[in-house]
């Protein structure tokens, strides 16, 4: 779902146009409906239209203004330290499929940008995963060895263009960075027209499949189609239980102008807190994007501290002239570290999903788009089985599954049993909390002007209690990551219904 974040817009949102594709008006019929106009959905739709299919994309917010518009937008196969672990879990063959799929995803971005004449600041850059901790050097060496066995152009180095020394790094040549929103807007323009269409401000509410035909009900009409692709971050119509096979993590980024050279490589550190570095362009000037500070969604007491920590590190390590954008995003981490791409459930052949990109959605999402388009077009895709939603998980991932779902149960039960002690009268301007009002719990926010926004604290997805995100002024669900603005409107699924309003005495 893509609702422009008015509190902390990203560099990508701030340096691209506000799109104005039409809302859907009434019912229609088409070949394929894609729900979600982020990189995975738009890639699928653009490829299918290229195959001659009629495609309709519906987006609850604006094109690429959800997660895709809030990433650091690195296009790389180097996803931290991943290959050594993948080899252990899936063998060399499985790890190679993961790597090759991501290489193919990167190539798809380059191909589609050329095919549709999209100027999206696409630039080739090396990618690095580095450590400043001598104790982690062997782990980096193991990653280099695993990556080389997978035939990646990977080398061990201690040379970077970061302004601080590193103990070790793996470097993979010929990766890329780009402006994800410019790219996605270009794709949306290429899709819209000649029998296909992109609809913004159109929220899908349900998906059904019956007798070889699919129906998508939206808040502006019903669409029937031969196939449906849910590319909504986490599927909202989730008969496959992906909410229990992934967990959401939130992280933060800033962009800054420097009084000094901007690093040209794309970097990610090992360990906690992780640090991400890349360059970008803003108003013709080169700037740096710095990221990190990951945590579970809805489980951080004061997210403003996350921006403060990131900014503090940035000012210590880089000659910062100005910080121009601050933003945060979240993504779903799959239990076995491999995204899910395929049928929403074994019983549903025509409703497809892609989810769990684990913060590497630019390459994983593009690769997923190719897999889904191939599947609908009846082409064999070499990576489809490895990413398949119905795959068996290795034993290690079952432990992860149990751990993450125990966390959800703890939040569901614990938050309901907790005795709230505060009342609305206790809230200062700008403050929010779940409070007691009579016999009822209320999610209350007193805005800077003193007005109180009162809501049910019960998430409309599966009933967990939402928590206040101080930095983004949103109510976030700690169970599966749904988010709502201060008036209760859904800004991020899997929930599709708003929080209920509550009448209170201010
Ligand atoms: Fe699932 Fe809130 S997102 S209960």
Cα 146 from Cα 154, distance rounded (Å): 9
Strand partners of residue 475: 468, 484
Q: What percent of the chain shows pLDDT beyond 90?
A: 83
Identify the pLDDT of residue 403. 64
Cα 440 from Cα 438, distance rounded (Å): 6
Does residue 466's CB lie within 6 angstroms of at least one atom of ligand 1?
A: no
For residue 477, report the distance from its CA to the centre of ligand 1, in Å.
6
Identify the pLDDT of residue 133. 96
Does residue 67's CB lie within 6 angstroms of at least one atom of ligand 1?
A: no
Mean pLDDT of 282-306: 93
**Pairing state of beta strands 275-282 and 285-296?**
antiparallel
Cα 411 from Cα 408, distance rounded (Å): 5
Residue among 477, 492, 496 whose CB has most ligand 1 atoms within 8 A, to mutate: 477
Confidence of residue 2 (pLDDT cuts 50, 70, 90): very low
> Would the pLDDT of 36 be above 60?
yes
> Would the pLDDT of 3 be above 90?
no
For residue 220, report the distance from its CA to the centre of ligand 1, in Å.
25
Mean pLDDT of 160-182: 98
Q: Is residue 32 within a helix (H) or strand (E), and if so which, with residue range? A: strand 32-35
Confidence of residue 1 (pLDDT cuts 50, 70, 90): very low
Cα 75 from Cα 119, distance rounded (Å): 16
Contacts of 320 (CB under 8 A, 6+ apart): 256, 257, 258, 259, 314
Does residue 411's CB lie within 6 angstroms of at least one atom of ligand 1?
A: no
HSE-CB of 401 using CA atoms within 13 angstroms: 14
Cα 238 from Cα 480, distance rounded (Å): 12
**Pairing state of beta strands 123-131 and 467-469?**
unpaired
| Per-position DSSP letters for 415-484, written without gaps between them | HHHSPP---GGGPPTTEEEEEEETTEEEEEEE-TTS-EEEE--B-TTT-PBPEEETTTTEEE-TTT--EE
Nearest to 434 by CA among 467, 412, 470: 467
Does residue 79's CB lie within 6 angstroms of at least one atom of ligand 1?
A: no
For residue 405, report the distance from its CA to the centre of ligand 1, in Å.
12
Atom of ligand 1 nearest to the CA of 480: 3
Identify the pLDDT of residue 423. 84
Atom of ligand 1 nearest to the CA of 494: 3
**Higher-pLDDT residue of 291, 233:** 291
Mean pLDDT of 406-430: 73
- Report H helices in 24-134: 39-50, 83-115
Is the dihedral angle over the CA atoms 150, 152, 158, 164 positive or is it negative? negative
Does residue 43's CB lie within 6 angstroms of at least one atom of ligand 1?
A: no
- At 498, list the tokens: 């708003």
Residue among 235, 297, 299, 480 whose CB has most ligand 1 atoms within 8 A, to mutate: 480
**Atom 3 of ligand 1, residue of closest alpha carbon:** 480
Residue among 1, 464, 466, 474 whose CB has most ligand 1 atoms within 8 A, to mutate: 464
Q: What are the pLDDT digits (tens) for 11-31?
A: 999 999 999 999 999 999 999
Question: Burial letters for 466-504: b for 16+ Cβ neighbours within 10 Å, e otherwise?
Answer: bbbbbbbbbbbbbbbbbbbbbebebbbbbbbebbeebeb
Residue among 462, 492, 497 whose CB has most ligand 1 atoms within 8 A, to mutate: 462
> Would the pLDDT of 5 be above 60?
no
Kindly report which listed range (127-136, 183-192, 195-204, 439-448) carries the lowest average pLDDT score.
439-448
Q: What percent of the chain shows pLDDT beyond 70?
A: 93
**Atom 4 of ligand 1, residue of closest alpha carbon:** 462
Does residue 499's CB lie within 6 angstroms of at least one atom of ligand 1?
A: no
The pTM (predicted TM-score) of the whole model is 0.94
């Amino acid at each position: 779902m893509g609702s422009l974040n008015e509190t902390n817009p990203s560099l990508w949102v701030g340096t691209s146009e506000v799109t104005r594709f039409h809302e859907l008006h009434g019912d229609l019929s088409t070949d394929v409906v894609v729900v979600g106009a982020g990189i995975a959905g738009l890639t699928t739709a653009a490829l299918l239209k290229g195959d001659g299919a009629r495609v309709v994309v519906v987006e609850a917010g604006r094109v690429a203004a959800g997660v895709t518009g809030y990433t650091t937008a690195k296009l790389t196969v180097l996803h931290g330290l991943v290959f050594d672990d993948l080899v252990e879990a899936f063998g060399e063959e499985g790890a190679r499929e993961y790597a090759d799929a991501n290489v193919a995803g990167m190539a798809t971005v380059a191909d589609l940008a050329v095919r549709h004449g999209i100027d999206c600041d696409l630039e080739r850059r090396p990618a690095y995963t580095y450590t400043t901790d001598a104790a982690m050097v062997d782990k980096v060496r193991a990653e280099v060895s695993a990556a080389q066995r997978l035939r990646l152009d990977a080398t061990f180095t201690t040379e970077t263009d970061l302004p601080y020394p590193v103990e070790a790094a793996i470097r993979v040549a010929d990766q890329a960075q780009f402006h994800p929103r410019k790219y996605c807007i270009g794709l949306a323009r290429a899709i819209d027209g000649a029998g296909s269409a992109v609809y913004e401000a159109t929220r899908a509410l349900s998906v059904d499949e019956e007798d070889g035909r699919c129906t998508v009900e939206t808040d502006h009409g019903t669409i029937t189609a031969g196939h449906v692709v849910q590319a909504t971050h986490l599927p909202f119509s989730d008969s496959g239980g992906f909410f229990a096979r992934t967990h959401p993590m939130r992280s933060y980024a800033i962009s800054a102008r420097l009084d000094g050279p901007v690093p040209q490589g794309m970097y990610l550190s090992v360990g906690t807190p992780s640090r991400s570095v890349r360059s970008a362009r803003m108003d013709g000037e080169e700037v740096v994007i710095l990221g990190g500070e990951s945590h579970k969604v809805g489980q951080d007491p004061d997210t403003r501290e996350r921006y403060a920590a990131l900014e503090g590190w940035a000012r210590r390590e880089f000659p910062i002239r100005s910080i121009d954008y601050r933003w945060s995003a979240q993504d779903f981490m799959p239990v076995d570290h491999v995204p899910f791409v395929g049928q929403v459930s074994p019983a549903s052949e025509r409703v497809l999903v892609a989810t769990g990109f684990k913060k590497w959605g630019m390459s994983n999402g593009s690769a997923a788009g190719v897999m889904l388009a191939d599947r609908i077009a009846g082409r064999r895709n070499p990576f489809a089985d490895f990413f398949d939603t119905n795959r068996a998980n290795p034993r290690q991932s079952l432990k992860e599954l149990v751990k993450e779902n125990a966390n959800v149960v703890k939040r569901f039960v614990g938050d309901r049993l907790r005795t709230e002690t505060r009342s609305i009268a206790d809230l200062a301007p700008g403050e929010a909390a779940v409070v007691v009002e009579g016999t009822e719990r209320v999610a209350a926010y007193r805005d800077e002007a003193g007005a109180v926004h009162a809501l049910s604290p019960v998430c409309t997805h599966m009933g967990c209690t939402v928590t206040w995100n101080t930095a983004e002024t949103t109510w976030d669900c700690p169970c599966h990551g749904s988010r709502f603005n201060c008036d209760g409107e859904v800004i991020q699924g899997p929930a599709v219904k708003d929080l209920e309003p509550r009448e209170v005495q201010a």
